[in-house]
Amino acid sequence: MLNRIILHYAELTLKGCNRNTFVKKLRINVRNKIKSMGHIWDVVTIHDRMFIEVPDDYTGDIDAIAEKLADIPGVAWLSRVYWFSNKKYDFFEYKPDLSEIDTLIEKLAIETYEKDKSFAIRVKRSDKRFYQTSSQLEIQLATVILKNTEWKTVNLNTADQYFYVDISSRGISVHTNRIKAIGGLPVASTGRIMCLLSGGFDSPVAAYLMAKRGCNVDFIHFTASNIQASKIEDYKVSKIAQNLSQYCGKVRLYLVPYTHIDLALMDKNLDYDLILFRRFMARVAEKLADSLFAQCLVTGDNLGQVASQTMENVVSMTKSIDMPVLRPLLTYNKEEIVEVSRKLGLFDLSTEPYKDCCALISNSPKTKSEHNKLVHIEETFLSEYGALIEDTLAEKQVIAYNFGNRIPYV
Ligand code: ATP
Ligand code: MG
């Protein structure tokens, strides 16, 4: 009997002929995540599942590793499994000796026993050559449990505890408790986005949601000044990016100073300073995103949450660039966002004090703006616009992570 982690895909079965590509991406992501935990283990795809081949001599905490793998987009659920693979199972018609499986099921049943609860056995035959039908084997194993343990009730529809046996041409796996994973699609399967990342709650959640739908994610963050190279790693927003990379895999965070636009706006007393600033952020981000082959910008905007997020201001920002701006949180309630933030383990970090630029640029932003009016203001008062973008990007700094570990810039 060997230890394995079994992993079940989320929506990949729906993807028709693209399915293989999706599975390959997921397999690469799973291997990289395992590598980030210090292990180089094989990941094998059998039928519609992936098996992680935990080495026989591994003595660490397999359940803890399984829990971390639940954070990988594209995984629906996973479980630690017991794997029987032996020559005698290769030719099922010769009726392999299943006594080892009986013994294991009995052991698991004893370990998970709860008074007055019901159980059920679920057998799946991916290889139909197996000499018993699924229900025959289910009855046989249920009898073992009823005879040799304290479990008394079988409930075939909604049991409290399930024991799963999967029979494939490569072997037989047995598992019980499943860990629910985040689902979605594997990162790198749907596109590349650039997220405008702040030090707040919303944009990290927006980035996570895009990764969950299969996007590669990079970040841009506007800072009040250049950050000393030696301090970048301890910077709040870098820590947020590092945390997100546990879900997003490889990410790059670009830090750019907003001093140039701040100076240009200073003393002009323009009514629309905050929305002008947000249009500037969009343009700088678009330019950087283009150079990295990202297809869209993503923000954590939430309709009506703050004065800068009125429909008019959201539209004015959108119209300032050609690149589409996606806002996955636009319709969320604050508590829904906070709930995800907590689940990601970002809540405490996001609440740490941080002076973000929007608050510094203006404390009473205009709620209604209009694109044409803003274009006129920009042409009149910010005539060196192209240079402002160039100068800002010339000072960019970058830090990169892969599944939570810092990596050299790639
Ligand atoms: P968040 O919680 O993400 O900070 P918010 O509700 O505080 O959002 P704003 O501060 O107005 O709202 O920011 C709206 C969006 O603009 C953010 O979600 C983020 O995408 C982007 N943004 C804000 N500040 C920055 C920044 N310093 N650098 C990059 N993007 C930013
Ligand atoms: Mg903010």
Tokens representing residue 343 in the block:
């689940």
What is the structure's pLDDT at 365? Answer: 75
Pick the residue with more confidence: 376 or 11?
376
Pick the residue with more confidence: 310 or 128?
310
Q: Does ligand 1 come within 6 angstroms of the Cβ of 341?
A: no
The answer to which of 107-121, 154-168, 354-368 has the lowest mean pLDDT is: 354-368
Query: How do 405-407 and 397-402 pair as beta strands?
Result: antiparallel
The answer to whether the CB of 184 falls within 8 A of the CB of 214 is: yes
Pick the residue with more confidence: 3 or 174?
174
The answer to which of 1-5, 123-127, 276-280, 323-327 has the lowest mean pLDDT is: 1-5
The answer to whether the CB of 403 falls within 8 A of the CB of 68 is: no
Instruction: Please list the residues that pair with 78 across neighbouring strands.
Output: 7, 179
pLDDT band for position 93 (cuts 50, 70, 90) = low
Residue 267 has pLDDT above 60, yes or no: yes
> Ligand 1: which of 194, 198, 329 to mutate, most ligand atoms within 8 Å of CB?
198
What is the structure's pLDDT at 361? Answer: 66
Residue 102 has pLDDT above 90, yes or no: yes
Ligand 1 atom index nearest CA of 337: 2
245-266 per-position pLDDT tens digit = 999 999 999 999 999 998 888 8
Pick the residue with more confidence: 383 or 257?
257
Residue 91 has pLDDT above 60, yes or no: no
- The per-residue pLDDT of the chain, averaged, comes to 91
165-176 per-position pLDDT tens digit = 988 877 889 999
Pick the residue with more confidence: 400 or 89?
400
Residue 390 has pLDDT above 70, yes or no: yes
The stretch 345-357 carries a mean pLDDT of: 87
CA-nearest residue for atom 24, ligand 1, is 198
Coil, helix or strand at residue 242: helix
Alpha helices for 70-133 (secondary structure H):
87-90, 99-111
What is the structure's pLDDT at 179? Answer: 93
Q: Does ligand 1 come within 6 angstroms of the Cβ of 138?
A: no
What is the structure's pLDDT at 219? Answer: 98
What is the structure's pLDDT at 386? Answer: 95
Work out the percent of the chain whose per-residue pLDDT is above 90: 71
What is the structure's pLDDT at 304? Answer: 87
Ligand 1 atom index nearest CA of 196: 30
CA angle at 192 for the pair 214 and 340, rounded to the nearest 5°: 50
Q: Does ligand 1 come within 6 angstroms of the Cβ of 332?
A: no
pLDDT band for position 213 (cuts 50, 70, 90) = very high
Residue 359 has pLDDT above 70, yes or no: no
Spacing, Cα 304 to ligand 1 middle (Å): 13
Spacing, Cα 207 to ligand 1 middle (Å): 12
Coil, helix or strand at residue 226: coil
Q: Does ligand 1 come within 6 angstroms of the Cβ of 313?
A: no
Spacing, Cα 178 to ligand 2 middle (Å): 37
Ligand 1 atom index nearest CA of 220: 29
Spacing, Cα 278 to ligand 1 middle (Å): 9
What is the structure's pLDDT at 90? Answer: 64
CA atoms within 13 A on the CB side of 266: 8
Q: Does ligand 1 come within 6 angstroms of the Cβ of 171?
A: no
Spacing, Cα 16 to ligand 1 middle (Å): 38
Work out the percent of the chain whose per-residue pLDDT is above 70: 95
What is the structure's pLDDT at 120? Answer: 97
Spacing, Cα 372 to ligand 2 middle (Å): 26
Q: Does ligand 1 come within 6 angstroms of the Cβ of 284?
A: no
What domains can you pick out in the chain, each with its CATH number? 2-180 (3.30.2130.30), 191-407 (3.40.50.620)
The stretch 84-105 carries a mean pLDDT of: 77
pLDDT band for position 306 (cuts 50, 70, 90) = confident
What is the structure's pLDDT at 277? Answer: 92
User: Which ligand approaches the C-alpha of residue 274 most closely?
Assistant: 1
Ligand 1 atom index nearest CA of 205: 3
The stretch 362-373 carries a mean pLDDT of: 81
Dist CA 169 CA 127 (whole Å): 6
Residue 219, burial from CB neighbour count under 10 angstroms (0-12, 13-18, 19+): buried
Residue 157, burial from CB neighbour count under 10 angstroms (0-12, 13-18, 19+): exposed
pTM of the model: 0.91
> Ligand 1: which of 288, 358, 369, 396 to mutate, most ligand atoms within 8 Å of CB?
358
What is the structure's pLDDT at 362? Answer: 67
User: Which ligand approaches the C-alpha of residue 203 most closely?
Assistant: 1
Pick the residue with more confidence: 176 or 19?
176
Count CB-CB contacts under 10 A for residue 264: 20
> Ligand 1: which of 197, 203, 256 to mutate, most ligand atoms within 8 Å of CB?
203
Residue 15 has pLDDT above 70, yes or no: no
Q: Does ligand 1 come within 6 angstroms of the Cβ of 262?
A: no
Ligand 1 atom index nearest CA of 329: 18
124-162 per-position pLDDT tens digit = 988 888 888 999 999 999 999 999 999 999 999 999 999
